[in-house]
């Protein structure tokens, strides 16, 4: 909290905060209002007498109904969920084990290997999709969910590994040493002591990995082609923008419904998530 005169608090604290929250939340507000706005209002010119951009007096469900009845939206939701869940589970499994090994096993070149893994995360997807497309074609995985389930870990595993490595390093080494003196092998000490203590960290990286794969666009766009295989981000943009016609209502309805599962996941784990990001382990 900023001390001192009232004007100081407003200038340095309240006003910046309000601006920040406004910038952050306005797109969501716009998305919601567009979802429920009838077409007549949506395409009304800005200089019309009854132009009313920030509110609507006759909300409608027609865009949502359109989404469910005229497109494969439910199918896209299912695809996205399936792909995001499976690739998150694979990445978490590898990331937890790799992070533990890099943080604790003290093998030669562990530090260099950790950096190398992080560097692979820095390779832009916009470059990587070209060789990956070749591989996907060779394995004949194109246009199946597996093309994404197997390629998402290329950026999710380095991410999870790096995050978990940091988290494991923050857990006092003595916990594990004590367990090993207590009669646990290295493996048992990891399973019974280190991993339960690292649950907040695992949840955090899991949530971020899930969000990253839920929102992923370029691989999904390149590797999937038939409408019923698509994920929400690709499905919505490819099926609801036809030529230069934007179906704003259904587009926004799709974006809104597509963001709901992520919002649920976040709010469900938020307590663990925050303590995971700040890396607090209470002794």
Instruction: Single out the segment in contact with other proteins by CB under 8 A; choices: 133-141, 161-169, 195-203, 262-270.
Output: 195-203
Please state, in angstroms and rounded to a whole number, the distance separating the CA atoms of residues 188 and 180.
Answer: 8
| Least CB distance to other proteins at residue 33 (A) | 45
In the bound state with other proteins, the residue whose beta carbon lies nearer, of 129 and 273, is: 273
Please state, in angstroms and rounded to a whole number, the distance separating the CA atoms of residues 246 and 2.
Answer: 46
Residue 180 sits in the site that holds other proteins (CB under 8 A): yes
What's the token pair of residue 32?
Answer: 């919601």
Please report, as residue ranges, which positions from 159 to 178 form the binding site for other proteins (by CB under 8 A): 172, 174-175, 177-178
Helix (H) or strand (E) holding 82: helix 73-104
Report whether 29 contacts 35 (CB < 8 A): no
Residue 44 sits in the site that holds other proteins (CB under 8 A): no
Please report, as residue ranges, which positions from 119 to 148 form the binding site for other proteins (by CB under 8 A): none
In the bound state with other proteins, the residue whose beta carbon lies nearer, of 8 and 169, is: 169
Site track 197-216 with other proteins (rule: CB under 8 A), x = hit = x-x-----------------
Helices (H), 105-240: 110-122, 125-138, 145-151, 153-170, 173-181, 186-189, 195-197, 199-215, 218-223, 232-240
- φ, ψ of residue 245 to 5 degrees: the values are -100, 120
The number of residues that bind other proteins (CB under 8 A) is 21
In the bound state with other proteins, the residue whose beta carbon lies nearer, of 4 and 183, is: 183
Residue 183 sits in the site that holds other proteins (CB under 8 A): yes
Residue 272 sits in the site that holds other proteins (CB under 8 A): no
Residue 196 sits in the site that holds other proteins (CB under 8 A): yes
Nearest to 59 by CA among 79, 42, 76, 82: 42
Residue 9 sits in the site that holds other proteins (CB under 8 A): no
Residues in the chain: 283
Residue 184 sits in the site that holds other proteins (CB under 8 A): yes
Please state, in angstroms and rounded to a whole number, the distance separating the CA atoms of residues 172 and 185.
Answer: 17
Which residues in this chain contact other proteins in the complex, by CB under 8 A? Answer: 172, 174-175, 177-185, 188, 192-193, 196-197, 199, 281-283
């Amino acid at each position: 909290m900023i001390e001192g005169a009232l004007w100081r608090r407003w200038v340095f604290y309240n006003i910046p905060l309000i601006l920040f929250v406004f910038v952050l939340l306005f797109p969501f507000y716009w998305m919601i209002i567009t979802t429920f706005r009838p077409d007549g209002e949506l395409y009304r010119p800005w200089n019309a007498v009854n132009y009313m951009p920030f509110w609507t007096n006759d909300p409608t469900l027609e865009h949502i109904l359109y989404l469910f009845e005229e497109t494969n939206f439910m199918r896209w939701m299912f695809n996205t969920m399936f792909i995001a869940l499976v690739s998150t589970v694979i990445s978490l499994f590898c990331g937890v084990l790799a992070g533990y090994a890099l943080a604790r096993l003290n093998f030669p070149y562990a530090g260099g290997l950790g950096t190398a893994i992080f560097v692979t995360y820095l390779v832009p997807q916009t470059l990587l999709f070209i060789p990956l497309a070749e591989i996907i074609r060779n394995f004949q995985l194109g246009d199946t969910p597996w093309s994404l389930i197997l390629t998402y870990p290329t950026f999710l595993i380095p991410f999870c590994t790096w995050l978990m490595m940091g988290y494991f390093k923050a857990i006092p080494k003595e916990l594990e040493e004590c367990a090993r003196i207590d009669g646990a092998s290295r493996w048992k000490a990891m399973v019974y002591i280190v991993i339960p203590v690292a649950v907040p960290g695992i949840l955090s990286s899991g949530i971020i990995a899930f969000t990253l794969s839920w929102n992923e666009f370029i691989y999904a766009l390149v590797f999937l082609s038939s409408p019923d295989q698509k994920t929400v981000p690709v499905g919505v943009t490819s099926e609801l923008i036809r030529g230069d016609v934007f179906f704003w209502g259904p587009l926004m309805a799709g974006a809104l419904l597509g963001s709901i599962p992520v919002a649920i996941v976040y709010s469900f784990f938020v307590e663990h998530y925050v303590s995971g990001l700040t890396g607090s382990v209470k002794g």
